[in-house]
A and B are shown apart, each in its own frame.
Chain A
Amino acid sequence: MTLVLSAEERAIAGGERGAGAATAMRIVAESARLLGAPRLIPIASAHIDGALYHGDSGTLFAERLVEGGARVAVRSTLNVGALDLTGCSQVRLAEPERGMARRMMGAYRALGCETSWTCAPYQAGHRPAFGSDVAWGESNAVVFCNSVLGARTNRYGDFLDIACAIAGRAPDYGLHRAENRRATVRFDLSAIDSGFLGSDIAWPILGSLYGREIGDAVGIVTGIAADPGEDALKAFGAAAASSGAVGLFHMDGVTPEAKAGAAGTELVAEIRVTDDMVRAAQGRLSTAEKPERIDAVAIGSPHLSLAEFDALERLLAGRRLAVPVYACTGRHVLPELERRGTRETLEAAGVVIVADTCVVVTPILEPLESGVLMTNSGKFAHYAPGNTGYSVLYASLADCVESAVSGRLRISGSR
């Protein structure tokens, strides 16, 4: 298929609105050509993952856009950066990388992006309307946006996310098109123990299994009795997008396209999940072999909501920690945490609140030769071994807190 640009798009690409806007439009158009998209479509918003420092070239690219007078054309929130600009936590990034990471964050701010610095923008007031086209980056945000909000986005990566935001357009391709959003695989949970489904470890484990089984297909989750709630859907999607190339899932009776009958009925495959499959998936989330001690706990991937902070405070019950709990969140949560006195209470107990960033994308954890990290996040469990050098132990939030209080591994229950 040949890409056709409108007269206005051609004029912008030719420099009518400045060098920065022209660069952005040409990047979107070239990508559309490679993807085989017939046209560009307008977008309602963007979530930008490109401000995380991977090397100097990314900083120079963002600064080039700023010098060219570019500004985002639609509401654009920012995903995490490599630094905690709130000062809540200490990032161990050395110069010159530290300076380049700071310059990069500054350049994206200068382009007109909102300084949200969170991987859970959908809990920081950025919730695009059902059926609207948007350009979002960060795999968990993409899945949540498509699946739970019913807005339409592909998985936009570095450079293309900000280019779409400046151009206000995206290639008409993939999950922007209704025919590509129908489920082809059923992921059935009706044979799973209902007690497990109600536990707080269930959804990250199921998400991890879903992503591994389903790859980049669109699936529908069936066989659940009740809506598991927003934080559970967030954990499920994040784990699924870590273990597979998942961009959209449906959940029978829960997610909006499933409720609207738009999830499709022509299934080509069915995965009947068994308790054995769940146990195996749970086992794969841990790389540490039943260690006696742990060195740290990390929670908040995706970033913690207020409700998740409440659960942490309740489980801690006024006790002091023997090893640190790193609680990663967005700055949007901080004012309310401070108003309630939760921040003071948690920090006095030994919790390290991390804002604007998280422990797997930038060096925050103490560098250890054979550290053991405990987490209740399927996404942290997936990325921590490769990115931090720690081996990882996946468990419930309650077990994470009990272990952090004692400094020794505490696992309750049969699972």
Chain B
Amino acid sequence: MGIAEQGEVLIAGTADAGGEALVLTRPISFWGGVDPKSGRIADPRHPEAGDNVAGRVLFLPGTIGSSSASAVLLELVRAGAAPAAIILHEADAILLLGLIVAHEMGWSHPPALRLDRERHGAFAGLYAEIHADGRISA
């Protein structure tokens, strides 16, 4: 039986997006927390340390704001190691700036959507698909 939620599109992606869901259980700082070349979660104190965000539908309960998070996300996009989609509990203008700049550079990039963190867990481990109207299904 499938599940579906209605998210709010923050940044539209350049193509239909889908991938295995990676649901983080704690907020993450992209700068210092995610390796910009590979997408590996590099912060040893993070519960999902060692997992890789590349190609996954990444559910973020929160972000810890270094102002260089946008630079890391842009590096991931360029390296082909970005998540397939980013689902955020709250819009984070600094992180999402990485996608805004990727769009300006003409690089294909993932979409970003807003969805309450209480609704993230149901997608854990499933193959999630993102639709243009903001629907997330699995």
Q: Using CB atoms and an 8 Å cutoff, list the residues of chain A in contact with chain B.
A: 23, 26-27, 30-31, 34-35, 49, 54-58, 60-61, 64, 137, 139, 155-160, 245, 386
**Is residue B124 contacting chain A, with contact meaning CB distance below 8 A?**
no
Q: 27 pairs across A/B with beta carbons < 8 Å?
A: A23-B104, A26-B100, A27-B104, A31-B93, A31-B97, A31-B100, A34-B91, A49-B67, A54-B36, A54-B71, A55-B78, A56-B75, A56-B78, A60-B78, A61-B74, A61-B101, A64-B104, A137-B67, A156-B67, A157-B66, A157-B67, A157-B68, A157-B94, A157-B97, A159-B71, A159-B98, A160-B94
Known contacts A55-B36, A57-B77, A159-B97, A64 near B105 by CB under 8 Å: yes
**Cα of A54 to Cα of B93 in the assembled complex, Å:** 19
Q: What total of chain B residues lie within 8 Å of the partner, measured CB to CB?
A: 25
Of chain B, the residue at the smallest CB distance from A34 is: B93
B83-120 contact mask (Cβ, 8 Å, vs A): 1 or 0? 00000000101101110110011000000000000000
- Kindly provide the distance from the CB of A358 to the nearest chain B CB, expressed in whole angstroms: 16
**B residues in contact with A35, CB < 8 Å:** 93
Of chain B, the residue at the smallest CB distance from A55 is: B75
Of chain A, the residue at the smallest CB distance from B69 is: A157
- Kindly provide the distance from the CB of B60 to the nearest chain A CB, expressed in whole angstroms: 15
**B residues in contact with A64, CB < 8 Å:** 104-105
- Kindly provide the distance from the CB of A255 to the nearest chain B CB, expressed in whole angstroms: 23
Of chain B, the residue at the smallest CB distance from A32 is: B93
**B residues in contact with A23, CB < 8 Å:** 104
**Is residue B136 contacting chain A, with contact meaning CB distance below 8 A?**
no
**A residues in contact with B93, CB < 8 Å:** 31, 34-35
- Kindly provide the distance from the CB of B138 to the nearest chain A CB, expressed in whole angstroms: 26
Contact A245 B65 (CB under 8 A): yes
**Cα of A35 to Cα of B65 in the assembled complex, Å:** 14
Contact B105 A60 (CB under 8 A): yes
**Is residue B32 contacting chain A, with contact meaning CB distance below 8 A?**
yes
- Kindly provide the distance from the CB of B78 to the nearest chain A CB, expressed in whole angstroms: 4
Contact A61 B105 (CB under 8 A): yes
Known contacts A57-B78, A61-B105, A386-B32, A160 near B71 by CB under 8 Å: no
- Kindly provide the distance from the CB of B44 to the nearest chain A CB, expressed in whole angstroms: 12
Contact A54 B72 (CB under 8 A): yes
Of chain B, the residue at the smallest CB distance from A61 is: B101
**B residues in contact with A137, CB < 8 Å:** 67
Contact A158 B68 (CB under 8 A): yes
**B residues in contact with A60, CB < 8 Å:** 78, 105
B57-71 contact mask (Cβ, 8 Å, vs A): 1 or 0? 000000001111111
- Kindly provide the distance from the CB of A143 to the nearest chain B CB, expressed in whole angstroms: 13
**B residues in contact with A139, CB < 8 Å:** 67
**B residues in contact with A34, CB < 8 Å:** 10, 91, 93, 96
